[in-house]
């Protein structure tokens, strides 16, 4: 089923608003087996909307419009669609009652101009909007289908799931299925290298990697008849990359770490230099972290390393703040001070200055003490100051996950 | 000057990639007085690109294409444009040399398929790409102009600024001017209420507010002939909202705070509970923060507040961790321990649990000790756990800016 998207409105056209509605709809519709073949953004003018529909129907049989259903005079999508199909707009008392009850629920007065939203193309179906005043509309004529959705993302999304997705699910015969895998502690190209041969081996699967600072995600989809192949792929994929898979794309590693700590009745404390509190902040952001997270120290200066973490000044001078030894001491002293089961010491050079040939910008030492067993790793991360700090935290979280899980 | 945008490629079409290139270009071109009249996304197929151009020229005289200039077989924008204008593609040795020297600079071998990128429409101009292999192209025929830009955002942006913006600046006769103001420590609706009467008073200005967690930005633009009006607006705007203006939209408050501390030769230390290290992390992210930032304590548990910050256990029990008194003690004790000129204590209830009628979720106390003068403010922030924590840090940064500046 070929689908085209038509966004209406100057805010998107002039770049004030990024067209995330279009990417949302495209992704959702493609995910269930529809095919997006064309996208447009047009001016909120009658002729532009009608022209846009004409162009869209040259590519697709179903057009989803985005926006232009509001109460103000520049909201013209209904009128533009009516003009294209040459069909009158009629007033729908039921819709108006729905709008009124929405305002009553919000305990607000009903503005007069909202009456405009009670008009629909003659013969169209109303798609109830529970999050706003503008209902969606569904209209079919001459073998062409148009679905009108409102622009505010929360309204568009809920209307899509409630009314539009069921329609597409009914119409699209070849149903898609998909699985996703979230990887940590491995770069995109390194992961890709390890599984590149699977692309040929599983010809009916669509294997798509997505990379962010924290994760490499693989989304793998196919049609229902190849579910066996998807299962076989999963087995091989897990045998190759299993140690890096933390769950599906819904999984957040911070949540997993806090959950593991709770499950194993362990406490944690952190000491950070270059990451400056980013690590503790990630753990504290998990609701309920208070039952496992004891404290965090951001010992950014030499002085604070000595006074707060009792780092030996001679060792600090001998090895330098960014060294395996000091990372070790940070984690070890912290464990002694706090009696935390898991303690972390992170020290590195985030740049842009402070690097030397021996210790370049991006060099980071991560020490993790788990029940008196010390693991120390070193890395050289690339990117600017912010990226190096984010990569440091991403890697530390992965190591925490791995070591705590192995307990 | 009417401009249309034409993005080419399945990644954008299927929603995998959000079309931020289009919003970037639209905003930039509108900012200097161009008018974006139509946007499209089409399949990476020859006919689709040629058809897309045809549609675009029904709306505009200048079309900017996005993407499809890469080395792989599905990169077909050059070919599609050549087909539309019925002009041959020719090989350009100079371009190929440029591509080769790019690979040499990166110390990488030259893949064979990059040779495709050395072709251009006969009669087109090359727009040099210093950040990647695909050059941009400029072609004019029959009164129609097409500008081809590569898809990777960093390449597109630098090519735009280097080669495309100068062209538009030359072509657009009615030049736009704009100024921006970045506000902190005030909500969007409150700011709007204070200046709502200015919209009518300055009819030739386009006054646009943009809101984020950290800032409320006002971007005000007009055409050159109304520069006087813009200046008068600025005077009135500053007299009303001056205390909240920290600079233009380029200004980052973290940078400003570190700069102020350096300028006044002051040091800073932070102690955080609910914000969990977010505050220290913001300061540490500023390059050169090491000369002013001493240390940060994330005293999340009762124990850590007592052991690390010497908070009196009786006071902790009497007032509770989230109280004016404990915020005060956190900042005061930290100043004594570290001798920092500026010290911060932040404590609050980020939720979703832990709130009571007297101390609801979102209640936050911020204590700032500046050279032995203590300022304590309390707030009730709304939103989920993450939002409350981000708003806490945004407000703390604003208070720091205000108090340090006033010194």
Identify the pLDDT of residue B115.
80
User: A394 pLDDT exceeds 80?
Assistant: yes
Calpha distance A344→A48 (Å, rounded): 59
User: For the ranges A50-54, A63-67, A125-129, A252-256, which has the lowest average pLDDT?
Assistant: A125-129
Q: Which residues of A touch B17 (CB under 8 A)?
A: 23
Average the pLDDT over A280-297 and give the result. 96
Name the pLDDT band for B392 (thresholds 50, 70, 90).
very high
CB B388 within 8 A of CB B381: yes
Q: What is the DSSP letter of B205?
A: -
- Write out residues 66-105 of B within 8 Å (CB-CB) of A: none
- A23, A219, A354, best to mutate vs chain B, most B CBs in 10 Å: A23
Torsions phi, psi for B396 (to 5 deg): -60, -40
Q: What is the value of ipTM here, to two decimals?
A: 0.78
Q: Are strands B35-42 and B62-66 parallel, antiparallel or unpaired?
A: unpaired
- Is B208's Cβ below 8 Å from some Cβ in A? yes
Tokens 């505050």 correspond to B279
Q: How far is A233 from chain B (nearest CA, A)?
A: 22
Tokens 């030397």 correspond to A356
- Write out residues 12-41 of B within 8 Å (CB-CB) of A: 12-20, 22-28, 30, 36-41
User: A105 pLDDT exceeds 80?
Assistant: no
Identify the pLDDT of residue B74.
81
Interval A7-29: pLDDT, tens: 999 889 999 889 999 999 999 99
Give the pair of three-digit tokens for residue A314: 């001679």
Tell me the CATH number of domain A176-247, given options 3.60.15.10, 3.30.460.10, 3.40.1180.10, 3.30.70.2860.
Answer: 3.30.70.2860
Mention every residue, 6+ apart, whose C-beta is less than 8 A from residue A101: none
Identify the pLDDT of residue B16.
85
Q: How far is CA A32 from CA A225, A256, A359, in A?
A: 14, 29, 50
Tokens 């990569």 correspond to A391
* Secondary structure of residue B283 in the 3-state scheme: helix
Give the pair of three-digit tokens for residue B303: 């124990």
Calpha distance B129→B147 (Å, rounded): 13
Average the pLDDT over A163-184 and give the result. 92
B318-B321-B323 Cα angle (round to 5): 80
What does the mean pLDDT of chain B come to? 93
Average the pLDDT over B161-170 and give the result. 95
CATH code: domain A253-406 is: 3.90.950.20
Residue A169 region by backbone torsions, left for phi larger than 0, else alpha for psi between -120 and 50, else beta:
alpha
* Secondary structure of residue A254 in the 3-state scheme: helix
- Is A395's Cβ below 8 Å from some Cβ in B? no
Domain residue ranges of chain A, discontinuous segments joined by +: 2-171, 176-247, 253-406
* Secondary structure of residue A191 in the 3-state scheme: helix
Interval A189-240: pLDDT, tens: 888 889 989 999 999 998 888 888 899 999 999 988 999 999 999 999 999 9
Taking alpha carbons only, the member of B245, B276, B257 closest to residue B401 is B257
Interval A39-91: pLDDT, tens: 999 999 999 999 999 999 999 999 999 999 987 778 899 999 999 999 999 99
Identify the pLDDT of residue B228.
96
Interval B255-285: pLDDT, tens: 999 999 999 999 999 999 999 999 999 999 9
Give the pair of three-digit tokens for residue B100: 């080769």
User: A261 pLDDT exceeds 80?
Assistant: yes
Taking alpha carbons only, the member of A58, A54, A74, A73 closest to residue A14 is A74
Average the pLDDT over B51-80 and give the result. 93
Bridge partners for B347 per DSSP? B365
CB A207 within 8 A of CB A199: yes
Asked if the Cβ–Cβ distance from B304 to A289 is below 8 Å, we say no
Name the pLDDT band for A5 (thresholds 50, 70, 90).
very high
CB A177 within 8 A of CB A32: no
B277-B282-B283 Cα angle (round to 5): 105
Tokens 């077989």 correspond to B73
Burial B302-339 (b: 16+ CB within 10 A, else e): eebbeebbebeeeebeebebbbebbbbbbbbbbbebbe
Calpha distance A208→B10 (Å, rounded): 13
Interval B95-154: pLDDT, tens: 888 888 877 877 777 777 778 888 999 999 999 988 888 899 999 999 999 999 999 998
Cβ-nearest to A285 among B283, B293, B385: B385
Identify the pLDDT of residue A179.
94
Name the pLDDT band for A117 (thresholds 50, 70, 90).
confident
Name the pLDDT band for A139 (thresholds 50, 70, 90).
very high
Torsions phi, psi for A77 (to 5 deg): -65, -45
- B33, B41, B50, best to mutate vs chain A, most A CBs in 10 Å: B41
Residue of B nearest to A28 (CA): B15
Q: How far is B233 from chain A (nearest CA, A)?
A: 22
Tell me the CATH number of domain B2-171, given options 3.10.560.10, 3.40.980.10, 3.40.50.300, 3.30.1700.10.
Answer: 3.40.980.10
Calpha distance B22→B8 (Å, rounded): 11
- Is A293's Cβ below 8 Å from some Cβ in B? yes
- The secondary element (H helix, E strand) that includes residue A147 is strand A144-149
Calpha distance A146→A81 (Å, rounded): 8
Interval B35-52: pLDDT, tens: 999 999 999 999 999 999
Calpha distance B136→B126 (Å, rounded): 6
User: A252 pLDDT exceeds 90?
Assistant: yes
- Write out residues 347-366 of B within 8 Å (CB-CB) of A: 351-353
User: A114 pLDDT exceeds 80?
Assistant: no
- Is A297's Cβ below 8 Å from some Cβ in B? yes
């Amino acid at each position: 089923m070929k689908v085209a998207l038509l966004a209406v409105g100057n805010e998107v056209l002039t770049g004030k608003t990024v067209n995330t509605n279009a990417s949302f709809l495209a992704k959702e519709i493609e995910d269930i087996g529809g095919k997006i073949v064309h996208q447009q953004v047009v001016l909120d003018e009658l002729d532009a909307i009608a022209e846009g529909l004409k162009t869209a129907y040259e590519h697709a049989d179903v057009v989803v419009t985005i926006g232009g259903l509001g109460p103000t005079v520049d909201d013209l999508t209904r009128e533009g669609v009516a003009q294209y199909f040459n069909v009158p707009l009629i007033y729908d008392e039921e819709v108006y009652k729905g709008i009124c009850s929405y305002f009553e629920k919000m305990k607000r007065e009903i503005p007069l101009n909202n009456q405009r939203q009670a008009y629909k193309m003659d013969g169209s179906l109303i798609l109830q909007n529970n999050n706003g005043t503008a209902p969606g509309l569904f209209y079919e004529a001459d073998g062409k289908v148009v679905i009108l959705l409102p622009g505010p993302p929360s309204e568009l999304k809920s209307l899509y799931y409630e009314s539009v997705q069921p329609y597409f699910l009914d119409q699209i015969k070849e149903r898609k299925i998909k699985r996703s895998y979230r990887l940590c502690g491995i770069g995109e190209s390194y992961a890709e290298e390890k599984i590149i041969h699977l692309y040929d081996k599983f010809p009916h699967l669509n294997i798509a990697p997505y990379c962010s600072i924290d994760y490499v995600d693989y989304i793998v989809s196919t049609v229902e008849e190849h579910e066996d192949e998807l299962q076989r792929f999963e087995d091989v994929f897990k045998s190759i990359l299993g140690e890096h898979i933390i769950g599906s794309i819904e999984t957040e590693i911070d949540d997993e770490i806090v959950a593991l700590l709770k499950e194993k009745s362990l406490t944690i404390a952190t000491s950070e230099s270059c990451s400056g509190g980013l690590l503790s902040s990630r753990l504290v952001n998990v609701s309920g972290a208070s039952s496992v997270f004891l404290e965090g120290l951001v010992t950014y200066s030499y002085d604070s390393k000595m006074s707060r973490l009792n780092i030996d000044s001679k060792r600090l001078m001998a090895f330098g703040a960014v060294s395996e030894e000091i990372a070790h001491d940070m984690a070890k002293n912290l464990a002694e001070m706090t009696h935390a089961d898991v303690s972390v010491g992170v020290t590195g050079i985030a740049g842009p200055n402070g690097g030397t040939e021996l210790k370049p910008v991006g060099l980071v030492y991560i020490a993790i003490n788990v029940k008196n067993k010390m693991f120390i790793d070193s890395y050289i991360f690339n990117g600017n100051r912010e990226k190096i700090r984010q990569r440091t935290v991403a890697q530390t979280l992965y190591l925490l996950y791995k070591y705590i899980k192995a307990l």
